[in-house]
Amino acid sequence: SPRGSAASDGSADVSCRTEDAGDSTTLLYSVIRLIFRATGFVFYATTECHGVEDFPAAGEPTLLCFNHGNGLADPLCLIKATPRMVRFCAKDTLWKVPIMGTFIRNSGAVPIYRQREHGDQAKDRNLEVFRTVIEVLRAGGCLGFAPEGVSRFLPYMEQPFKTGVARIALEAVRQSSEAGDADFKVNVVPVGLAFTHREKFRSDLCMSYCKPIVVDAAYAARFGDSFEAAKALTCRLSADLEAVTINAPDWGVIRCGITAARLHQAADSQLTLKQYLSLLRGWVEVLKLAPADASGGGGGGALERDAPKASALAAARLKAELSEYQRLLDEKGIKDERVRRAAAVGQALPWYWCAWGLAQRAVLCSLLFAVATPGLVAWMPVWVYVKRRERMLMAKGPRWNDSVAETKMMVCALIVMA
């Protein structure tokens, strides 16, 4: 069957023509990238991209590896930001997803067959996938993988990482060395995706491209066998991604970290998104020293069980105080700024200050509502559909939470194309 079309049994086609295996960006992929860039511009309020200038040049074999907690929204973000054509490897059932399946089918993606859908046939089919991936790499292509293996809406990356990425890189190097190309190398590039509210419309996104990990014959020779080499490379990949993402044992630690970061930031200072996320990451690492709650999230990341007892107790007290402070803010319906302003004058704000502020906001809201009414009426059906779809996905359980953002982004893509 033609490349990108459905196979005769309804599964995705894995065929790869020689001229398509390399790094040339197709016209259709360029169109998809433009659509995704417009979609990302609409969906995200702020997008910061760091380190992309160090991404390997066209023609250099590259494996792009990313943390995967936001469904199909993750590859969409990477396609729009990465300067080269990236062929993602994903479960073949995504080829059947309405709308998004069309984009996947025409973006050069490579299907992975899971045993739960294909039974005993999965192994044989994935051997063909493995050969295709090696062919793409040896032709100088760029492939995208999620070492976690699955997308999960969690406050941490799923560990341990799968070793598939490392094994692919090492096998490509081995085959090229046996073919006489001793200088062949694979660049493994970790990319951290950090969101302020990953499932929310007009969230913020920070993308951090790490320095490439170079895998060549000399790298493989440092280890006794391919298993040890794959294990070491996977550990290095995990450490690099841990350094540019936020990982907490449960959502409570994330919430306390956000509160601490707000209090830490000076009242009149302006931080970039990367600076804010670095501050948040630092506080999360501090709060992870506290013993996990009995109802905690059960793992994820590097909970420091061997931390000194004094540090653990201090972190536990800090976590409790931050939780109580945030609870009081929520109970009173106020924000930190109100507390800061009251502290500056040494007492609670006078009632007439509050009344004057409410009057100003009421007038402004009335004017803005009058201006926005036509658009509100026009977009109300879309909003109702998206909210119903969101509630339906959330009702299915936590494993479906990562599909919320991708559903909203598909709606954005349809609006952009319209």
Whole-number Å distance between alpha carbons of 413 and 178: 45
Count the neighbouring beta carbons within 10 Å of the beta carbon of residue 102.
Answer: 13
- Residues facing 162 on adjacent strands: none
Spacing of C-alpha 57 from chain mean position: 23
Predicted TM-score (pTM) of this structure? 0.85
Task: Write out the H or E segment, with its range, that includes residue 185.
Answer: strand 185-195
Task: Give the mean pLDDT per block of 10 residues along the chain (418 residues).
Answer: 40 45 77 93 95 96 96 93 93 81 82 84 86 93 94 92 95 96 96 94 96 96 93 97 96 96 87 95 95 50 57 93 95 86 77 89 95 92 91 83 86 81
With contact defined as beta carbons under 8 Å apart, do 83 and 52 qualify? yes
Whole-number Å distance between alpha carbons of 50 and 192: 10
Half-sphere exposure in the Cβ direction for 14 (13 Å, CA): 24
Question: What integer pLDDT is reported at residue 24 of this predicted model?
Answer: 74
Question: What integer pLDDT is reported at residue 293 of this predicted model?
Answer: 57
Whole-number Å distance between alpha carbons of 60 and 187: 7
Whole-number Å distance between alpha carbons of 11 and 227: 32
Question: What integer pLDDT is reported at residue 12 of this predicted model?
Answer: 56
| Radius of gyration over every alpha carbon of the chain, rounded to an integer in angstroms | 24
Q: Tokens in use for 80?
A: 């729009």
Question: What integer pLDDT is reported at residue 95 of this predicted model?
Answer: 86
Question: What integer pLDDT is reported at residue 5 of this predicted model?
Answer: 39
Task: Write out the H or E segment, with its range, that includes residue 102.
Answer: helix 100-105
